[in-house]
Structure 1
Amino acid sequence: MSNRYITSHFPLISILLFSLAFAIFVQGFILGELVDLGIYSGMREFISESGIKLTLLFLLLLFFFMVFSALKLIADTTIELSMLFFSKDEEGNELNKVRMGTWIYLAASVLAILLAQYLLVIIALFVIASLSYFVFLVYKVSSTFSLAGLVGFIVFQVVFWSAFLLAIVLALVKLYNSFMASLPI
């Protein structure tokens, strides 16, 4: 029998690697914009080039780490809440079967690091890993659901994440519109 805690650190490693992949891409973008705007040379008078790059990478890594950690917390909460509503498993034993699904995120995060210069590839890897994990989750815990419970579980997840993404998009559009309206003509 294998130790079930062997894979317990995979979510942390996956979050760190995805955060690093996004941070590397955004760092390159920001540095390019700073050079184009002529600000970068002025910054180098106060801080060394490697100091600017490392500080920027650290801050971006910290930002993306917080975002992905929050997403994991929200995902775990919604999964457990939907299990509460729709599953026959009252002990929570079925969630232990899902631990091996962390390999999906780990593999995707390693690929994301290797392809960190392509933003769309990183996003696609994250989305594919999330959808693959969801299919794996449904497959592993489906034995504890009735047909109606399984449909309820899936609908709950889809509705929650759709509403969550829609709220984010609407907030960004509203912020963008207010920014554009404030600019002088």
Structure 2
Amino acid sequence: MTNRYITSHFPLISILLFSLAFAIFFQGFILTQLVDLGIYNGMREFISESGIKLTLLFLMQLFFFMVFSALKLIADTTIELSMLFFSKDEEGTELNKVKMGSWIFLIASILSLLLAQNVFLIVIVFLIASLSYFIFLVYKISNTLSLAGLIGFIFFQVIFWSAFILTITLALVKLYNSFMASLPF
């Protein structure tokens, strides 16, 4: 029998590595923008070059850590809520079986760190890891769900995440449109 807490730190490590991968990319992007806008040389008069880079890396790491932590919290809540609605498992033993799926995100986060220079590839790795984890989750809990419960579980997850992404997209488009409308032409 293995200790179930051996992999308990994998989600934290995965969040840190995914955050670092995104932070590395956006640090380079922001530095390029600062140079193009002519702000970077003025900043170097007050802070050293390595100080600017480390500060940007820290702030981007912190930002993405908060985003991924919030996403994990939301994902855990929706999974447990859908288990409440559709599963026959009242003890939560099936969720303990699913915790081994944290390997998926750990491996993907290590891969994303290797691809840190391309944000598109990092996003693809994250999406593939999320889809793989969802398939793993459905496979592991399927024996405690009836056919109607399995369909309900899947639809609950798909509808929630679709609505979540659509809401964020619409808010960003509305913000972008209001920003563009406020610019004098």
TM range (shorter): over 0.9
SS at match of 2:3: coil
Give the 5 Å matches for 1:9-158. 9-158=9-158
What is the Cα deviation at residue 145 of structure 1? 0.3
Deviations for 1:52-92, whole angstroms, at most 9, x for unmatched residues? 00001000000000000000000000000000000000011
Residue identity in the other structure for 1:17: L
Structure 2: stretches of 5+ with no match in the other structure: none
Counterpart Cα distance in 1 of 2:34 and 2:63: 19
Counterpart Cα distance in 2 of 1:70 and 1:121: 22
What is the Cα deviation at residue 22 of structure 1? 0.2
> Identity across aligned pairs (percent)?
82
What is the Cα deviation at residue 12 of structure 1? 0.1
Residue identity in the other structure for 1:133: Y
Structure 1: stretches of 5+ with no match in the other structure: none
What is the Cα deviation at residue 170 of structure 1? 0.1
Counterpart Cα distance in 1 of 2:37 and 2:77: 43
- Counterpart of 2:171 in structure 1 is 171
> 4+ runs of 1 displaced by more than 6 Å?
none
What is the Cα deviation at residue 9 of structure 1? 0.0
**Could you state the TM-score of these two structures normalised by the residue count of structure 2?**
1.00
SS at match of 1:16: helix
Residue identity in the other structure for 2:150: L
**Could you state the TM-score of these two structures normalised by the residue count of structure 1?**
1.00
Counterpart Cα distance in 2 of 1:174 and 1:20: 29
Counterpart Cα distance in 2 of 1:111 and 1:95: 26
Deviations for 1:135-171, whole angstroms, at most 9, x for unmatched residues? 0000000000000000000000000000000000000
What is the Cα deviation at residue 5 of structure 1? 0.2
